[in-house]
């Protein structure tokens, strides 16, 4: 095992009672967690199958499990659970199905499915404001917040004064009723249902507390109320757990994360031990001093100060540009110049920003200089139309009650089913109390929808029924999955629908990637239950395929990403652009008085840098066709003068952007000439 510093060693060896490891940015928390798991198995003699570790992303879970496997012989890690919260919740629901309102073939609705269902319910019930686009977003957020705060529909309707909230509470009740009717859960349910079962059923609670002898939780500051309750119910009074987190990096309040869960730990577990990891293994001390100075302006339950043994390093630069175009041009040319001067690779550079729109001028400048770049946080794999379509077919096979999947695929490719026909089918299914697919097989279908439509719908239902039997009975389902998608006519539909040969290739390649992922999941399954087609489809809904793709592709490119997407990553040279009021901090946070979270976002940005950090702002920024003058971010005033190089503070005149561009071009030409001469 690699060497740990004294604080890390203390965290590793503390196994009796509740432990909070306050892990500053770059303090080696993953090493602590993985070595602690190895310590629990080898030295504390806790079997791997009695240890559970939870985190928030598939990538983090994969990395953690791989690192544990490098520390121990494979037979000692067999049965170890390292998963995301949602994967754990899915497994829990499979084991405790009898205590849920679900049948075994339940579906998981993604955010797109939930959005479509709520939109339909708003229109169907003639709810006030259904025609307003913002109402749908508000309804989704409110329902998710209620769920994550473990508030049931009937409780949400109590003591509401705002007419809009009353509408949302009514929608919440309808939404939950439809989920159960569809034999489906949404992502929130994967945490909420296990938490409710554990809370309400003492026998199940006792069973799981006995089953999990030690629990570890990473990124604890990102937990919401439901996740905190789940943790508390799993550990019980024995409190044999370690949570690792950093309240200064809690940047997901908009997703329900509650950094105050750290304070709750002290209340619920009075004997809680707190160990601070303050030695940073990533950055120079000037970068860390800047991060410490900024975050010191937030209120803290636990104080900590990051330090490193990597020396002072370069001063943090603060650059002011004429406008956002000049800002993008300066960044692009600096990266080219810096790389030519110092050697190295493109992937050592990252440009971070608060909002996605800031990347557009930057992309144009990098393309003009032929600099390869990677834009993170784009469309996720599962958000692609062709993947959602193929998954729709797989979901309806898994769960005949999945009306959302039925509606997605019945006309993809076109089968001549108009909205009027589907409305008649929906009313007929309601009369029967059945799903749309089951209604397609009923003897009364012809009277409900007409002869021609009933023939098409029955053919479709028989087709699905046939492949359901075949896939469940076949130990090697992959060839059947391919055959089924071809027989639907979907591949021909893609070829006819694609506007260019390249688009057709991309879409077919994406479907092939999905097939490969299904095959890999079947191969990697640790037991027979995990190899079934339904287990694999459920896992796929939860997987973030984008992460896998990014790891596999050529990564020698400049990294462009939001500050949120950058969390957990590190780069040698970091540029943070748009450090201005109304951008960072964002104007919404200023209005809502949530600037503390924006300051944590700034802290995350600063602590991504290993060697050099540059903070940039524009004097004016384009808004539509006009330019709007900007104000430097308040966070720049919080930086320590002795560690920053901020020319605009020393002089009020600003260089002409054309002059800056000319000087940089001259530098590049001089270096090229020097290189040729050498």
Residues identified as active-site: 29-30, 218-219, 249, 608
Contact 42, 13 (CB under 8 A): no
Residue with tokens 């909230």: 165
Helix 6-13 / helix 29-42 crossing angle, nearest 10 deg:
40
Q: How far apart are CA 465 and CA 357, in angstroms?
A: 46
| Cβ-defined contacts of 381-386 (< 8 Å, 24+) | 381/510, 381/513, 381/544, 381/545, 381/546, 381/549, 382/110, 382/541, 382/543, 382/544, 382/545, 383/112, 384/507, 384/510, 386/494, 386/507, 386/510, 386/511
CB 597 within 8 A of CB 253: yes
Provide CB contacts within 8 A for 559, sequence distance 6+.
347, 349, 350, 351, 373, 374, 376, 569, 571
Report helix, strand or coil for 628. Answer: strand
**Burial environment of residue 314 by CB neighbours within 10 A (0 to 12, 13 to 18, 19 or more):** middle
Spatial separation of the C-alpha atoms in residues 139 and 80, rounded to whole Å: 39
Query: Residue 402: phi, psi to the nearest 5?
Result: -80, 85
Encoded tokens for 361: 């001028």
Q: Are 80 and 51 in contact (CB under 8 A)?
A: yes
What does the radius of gyration of the chain's CA atoms come to, in whole angstroms? 27
Q: Which two tokens stand for residue 163?
A: 């007419």
Catalogue the E-assigned strands of 4-118: 19-23, 51-55, 81-84, 107-109
Locus of tokens 């943070």? 576
Could you count the other beta carbons within 10 Å of the beta carbon of residue 287? 30
Q: Which residues make beta-bridge pairs with 277?
A: 23
Nearest to 284 by CA among 317, 313, 318, 305: 313
Q: Show Cβ contacts of residue 383 under 8 Å, excluding neighbours closer than 6 positions.
A: 112
Q: Coil, helix or strand for 190?
A: helix
User: DSSP characters for 272-333?
Assistant: -EEEEE-B-SSS-HHHHHHHHHHHTTS--SS----B-SS-S-SPEEEEEEEEHHHHHHHHHH
Q: What is the DSSP letter of 28?
A: -
Ramachandran angles phi, psi of 196, nearest 5°: -65, -45
Distance CA 477, CA 466 (A): 13
* C-alpha triplet 436, 437, 438: angle, nearest 5°: 95
Q: Give the residue ranges of DSSP H helices in 574-656.
A: 587-592, 595-606, 634-637, 647-650
Burial of residue 274 (number of CB atoms within 10 Å: 0-12, 13-18, 19+): middle
In this structure, are residues 374 and 346 in contact, taking their beta carbons and an 8 Å threshold?
no
């Amino acid at each position: 095992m690699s060497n740990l510093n004294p604080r890390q060693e203390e965290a590793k060896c503390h196994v009796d009672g509740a432990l909070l490891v306050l892990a500053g940015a770059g303090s080696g928390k993953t090493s602590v967690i993985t070595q602690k798991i190895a310590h629990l198995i080898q030295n504390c003699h806790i079997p791997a199958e009695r240890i559970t570790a939870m985190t928030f992303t598939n990538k983090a879970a994969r990395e953690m499990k791989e690192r544990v496997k490098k520390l121990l012989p494979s037979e000692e890690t067999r049965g170890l659970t390292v998963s995301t919260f949602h994967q754990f919740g899915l497994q829990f629901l499979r084991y405790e199905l009898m205590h849920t309102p679900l049948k075994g073939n339940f579906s998981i609705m993604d955010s797109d499915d939930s959005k479509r269902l709520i939109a339909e319910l708003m229109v169907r019930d003639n709810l006030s404001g259904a025609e307003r686009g913002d109402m749908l977003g508000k309804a989704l957020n409110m329902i998710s917040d209620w769920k994550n705060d473990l508030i049931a529909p009937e409780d949400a309707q109590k003591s509401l004064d705002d007419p809009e909230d009353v509408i949302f509470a009514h929608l919440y009740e309808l939404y939950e009723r439809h989920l159960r009717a569809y034999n489906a859960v949404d992502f929130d349910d994967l945490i909420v249902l296990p938490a409710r079962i554990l809370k309400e059923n003492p026998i199940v609670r006792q069973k799981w507390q006995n089953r999990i002898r030690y629990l570890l939780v990473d990124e604890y500051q990102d937990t919401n109320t439901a996740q905190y309750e789940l943790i508390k119910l799993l550990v019980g009074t024995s409190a044999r757990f370690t949570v690792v987190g950093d309240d200064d990096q809690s940047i997901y309040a908009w997703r329900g994360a509650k950094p105050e869960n750290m304070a709750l730990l002290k209340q619920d577990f009075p004997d809680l031990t707190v160990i601070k990891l303050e030695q940073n293994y990533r950055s120079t001390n000037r970068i860390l001093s800047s991060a410490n100075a900024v975050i010191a302006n937030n209120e803290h339950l636990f104080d900590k100060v990051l330090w490193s043994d990597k020396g002072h390093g370069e001063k943090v630069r603060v650059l002011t540009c004429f406008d956002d175009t000049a800002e993008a041009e300066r960044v692009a040319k600096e990266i080219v110049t810096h790389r030519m001067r110092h050697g190295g690779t493109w992937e050592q550079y990252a440009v971070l920003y608060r909002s996605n729109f800031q990347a557009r001028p930057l992309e144009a400048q990098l393309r003009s200089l032929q600099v390869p770049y990677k834009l993170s946080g784009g469309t996720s794999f599962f958000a692609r139309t062709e993947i959602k379509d193929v998954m729709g077919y797989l979901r309806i096979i898994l769960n005949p009650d999945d009306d959302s999947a039925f509606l997605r695929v019945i006309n993809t490719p076109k089968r001549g089913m108009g909205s009027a026909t589907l409305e008649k089918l929906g009313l007929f299914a309601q009369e029967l109390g059945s799903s749309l697919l089951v209604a397609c097989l009923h003897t009364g279908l012809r009277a409900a929808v007409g002869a021609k439509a009933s023939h098409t719908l029955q053919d479709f239902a028989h087709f699905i029924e046939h492949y359901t039997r075949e896939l469940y009975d076949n130990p090697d389902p992959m060839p059947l999955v391919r055959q089924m998608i071809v027989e639907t006519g979907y591949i021909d539909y893609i070829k006819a629908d694609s506007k260019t040969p390249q688009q057709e290739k991309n879409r077919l390649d994406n479907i092939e990637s999905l097939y490969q992922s299904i095959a890999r999941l079947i191969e990697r399954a640790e037991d027979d239950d995990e190899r079934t087609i339904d287990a694999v489809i459920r896992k796929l809904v939860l997987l973030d395929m984008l992460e896998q793709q990014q790891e596999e592709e050529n990564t020698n490119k400049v990294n462009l990403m939001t500050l949120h997407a950058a969390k957990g990553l590190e780069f040698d040279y970091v540029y943070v652009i748009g450090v201005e009021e109304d951008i960072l901090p964002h104007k919404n946070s200023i209005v809502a008085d949530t600037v503390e979270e924006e300051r944590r976002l700034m802290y995350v940005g600063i602590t991504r840098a290993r060697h050099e950090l540059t903070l940039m702002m524009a004097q004016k920024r384009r808004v539509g066709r006009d330019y709007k003058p900007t104000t430097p971010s308040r966070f720049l005033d919080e930086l320590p003068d002795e560690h920053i190089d901020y020319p605009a503070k020393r002089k009020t005149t600003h260089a002409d952007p054309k002059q800056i561009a000319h000087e940089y071009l001259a530098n590049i030409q001089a270096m090229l000439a020097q290189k040729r001469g050498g």
